[in-house]
Amino acid sequence: MSTDIEPREHTELRAAVAALGRRHGPGFDRAALWAEAGKLGYLGVNLPEEYGGGGGGMAELSIVLEEAGAAGAPLLMMVVSPAICGTVISRFGTDGQKAAWLPGLADGTRTMAFGITEPDAGSNSHRITTTATRTEDGWVLNGRKVFVSGVDIADATLIVGRTSDARTGSLKACLFIVPRDTPGFGRRHIEMELDADEKQFELTLDDVHLPADALVGDEDAGLLQLFAGLNPERIMTAAFAIGMGRYALDRAVGYAKERQVWKAPIGSHQAVAHPLAQAHIELELARLMMQKAAKLYDAGDDLGAGEAANMAKYAAAEACVKAVDTAVHTLGGNGLTKEFGLARLVTASRVARIAPVSREMILNYVSIHSLGLPKSY
Ligand SMILES: Cc1cc2nc3c(=O)[nH]c(=O)nc-3n(C[C@H](O)[C@H](O)[C@H](O)COP(=O)(O)OP(=O)(O)OC[C@H]3O[C@@H](n4cnc5c(N)ncnc54)[C@H](O)[C@@H]3O)c2cc1C
């Protein structure tokens, strides 16, 4: 992929992470790569320098995830730990929360999961019912979450709840750090058709008692704080998808150059070559939108970043699904063998189309907010 619209430091970061990713490669040991990437400063490249981070932003963090994925060694927890949780704590946490969490999130020795999705409030996060009630010395949380990734390997989960507002009876979104072994914080592994180390969990919060400093940020400024974390999540999901798409495409292109069943390699047939070329173009376009979203976010334009991050996530997911589908087909029967390892990406590539916000919800967002069309729901 050409990278010449990037500053030199970005190209160098890209090359360094690509080399690390290649050393670990497909079939990689997730924990070992996570530890090494953390030690080298890649996991915390977006976090403040005073807390051990690299002092960069989403532009740099998305490069790390994209290149690891392009080498066949994606690190899904980067989408939540440094990107959502690290960002929210850096922007809205107290000095104590920053000191407690950021150095570990930056060097990878600590990990934080993120739980917003609920069984009865999937795409409609305004309907979440996990409720935080104030006590004399802190909070009590009650509720349920689903599909939360990596809770077993995370030291804590940043849980999105609502405070019950005694005065008006309305509910407000707010964020709580819940350490993994807190009494009342239960988890059940949800079996997924995904070939990944990071598992998904259903969570139960049953009278989970938390100290006052478990609340991150202001209990009344919930949505603003939430979106400060959700835009990085979308940018990182785009990076995850572009990395996976590039990996699949590289494998297919390599195969198409070698495989010969008539007089020339199959890649010389345009029916094989054109879909690969199309996939390449669509991945490149998606990356441009991801770079725009990261640039706007890093410049502090949360509103502009919101639209671009949604569009980037949409474009990257669609490009990834198409690249994987094309790659599998290019390999013929080998596309479905375990040895070539591409068929497992068919399910994995669909994740970016569903999570963290589905394709349809992005189309709704663009219809309503970008085009001014009326809302149907
Ligand atoms: C592998 C994986 C990892 C995940 N990790 C996490 C995590 O770490 N933390 C977390 O909190 N969540 C996580 N999720 C959950 C994910 O964010 C949700 O699955 C996603 O937000 C969609 O919610 P849902 O599954 O309830 O689908 P639903 O909201 O039930 O949607 C089902 C379908 O209906 C469509 N739909 C819904 N409403 C509308 C509408 N108004 N207009 C048009 N179409 C509509 C959707 O587009 C979708 O196709 C993960 C999911 C997966 C698959």
Domain boundaries, the chain: 8-111, 113-216, 222-370
Cα 229–chain centre separation: 11
Residue 76 sits at the vertex; the CA angle it makes with 75 and 78, to the nearest 5 degrees, is 75
pLDDT higher for 120 or 170? 120
Distance in Å, CA 361 to ligand 1 centroid:
9
Distance in Å, CA 309 to ligand 1 centroid:
17
pLDDT higher for 43 or 2? 43
Distance in Å, CA 118 to ligand 1 centroid:
9
> Which CATH architecture group holds 113-216?
Beta Barrel (2.40)
Among 122-126, 128-132, 154-158, 325-329, the range scoring the smallest mean pLDDT is 122-126
Check if the beta carbon of residue 10 is closer than 8 Å to that of residue 59. yes
CB 351 less than 6 A from any atom of ligand 1: yes
pTM over 0.75: yes
pLDDT at 159: 97
Among 11-15, 95-99, 163-167, the range scoring the smallest mean pLDDT is 163-167
Summarize the confidence of residues 119-133 as an average pLDDT: 91
CA terminus-to-terminus distance, the chain: 40
Assign domain 8-111 to its CATH superfamily: Acyl-CoA dehydrogenase/oxidase, N-terminal domain (1.10.540.10)
For 134-144, write each residue's pLDDT tens digit. Answer: 999 999 999 99
Contacts of 146 (CB under 8 A, 6+ apart): 117, 118, 119, 190, 200, 202, 203
* Overall CATH class of domain 222-370: mainly alpha
* Structure tokens that stand for 338 in this block: 């375990």
CB 368 less than 6 A from any atom of ligand 1: no
CA distance 175 to 115: 10
Contacts of 171 (CB under 8 A, 6+ apart): 131, 162, 163, 164, 165
Indicate if the pLDDT at residue 103 is higher than 80. yes
Share of the chain above pLDDT 90, in %: 89
Ligand 1, atom 27, lies closest to the CA of: 122
CA distance 138 to 132: 10
**Mean pLDDT of all residues belonging to the chain:** 94
Is residue 167 very low, low, confident or very high in pLDDT (cuts 50, 70, 90)? very low
Burial category of 68 from C-beta neighbours within 10 Å (exposed 0-12, middle 13-18, buried 19 and up): buried
For 192-231, write each residue's pLDDT tens digit. Answer: 999 999 999 999 999 999 999 999 998 876 677 888 889 9
CA distance 310 to 111: 25
CB 235 less than 6 A from any atom of ligand 1: no
Summarize the confidence of residues 326-339 as an average pLDDT: 98
Ligand 1, atom 31, lies closest to the CA of: 123
pLDDT at 166: 38
CB 123 less than 6 A from any atom of ligand 1: yes
Domains 113-216 and 222-370 are alike in CATH topology: no
